[in-house]
Amino acid sequence: MEFLGSLNPLEQVREYLKDRHERKKDNEYKSEIEKKKGYIEIQQQINKVVLERIEILKGLGYNEKEIRENYDKLVRPIEKLNELENGQLISEVIMIKTNGS
């Protein structure tokens, strides 16, 4: 009798819809996690670039006060690129390695 109950079309539809809903919730959760990971990775790259620029300026003889006063010039161009990408004006960025790096 249990075997015949599992062939009930309405029960099968209900199970299918329930499973589909669970998969959708799982995918949405994973998608949100991936977005957060991507954001963190972008912020880490921005921090790396800013630190590299600061080290270059220190190597050129700039002191910490001068670097702090010009911080916007170090960070704003990177933030602008991020804004353009988020606005979908930039669709893809490709890193090209040169012989020197």
12 is a domain residue: yes
The vertex-33 CA angle with 27 and 38, nearest 5°, equals 125
Question: Domain residues for 13?
Answer: 2-86
What per-residue confidence (pLDDT) applies to 92? 66
Please state, in angstroms and rounded to a whole number, the distance separating the CA atoms of residues 27 and 23: 6
What per-residue confidence (pLDDT) applies to 14? 83
Least confident of 35-39, 40-44, 46-50, 76-80: 76-80
Please state, in angstroms and rounded to a whole number, the distance separating the CA atoms of residues 93 and 85: 9
What per-residue confidence (pLDDT) applies to 25? 87
Say whether pLDDT at 72 is over 80.
Answer: no
93 is a domain residue: no
Q: What is the mean pLDDT of residues 84-89?
A: 66
Domain count of the chain? 1
What per-residue confidence (pLDDT) applies to 73? 77
Confidence of residue 61 (pLDDT cuts 50, 70, 90): very high
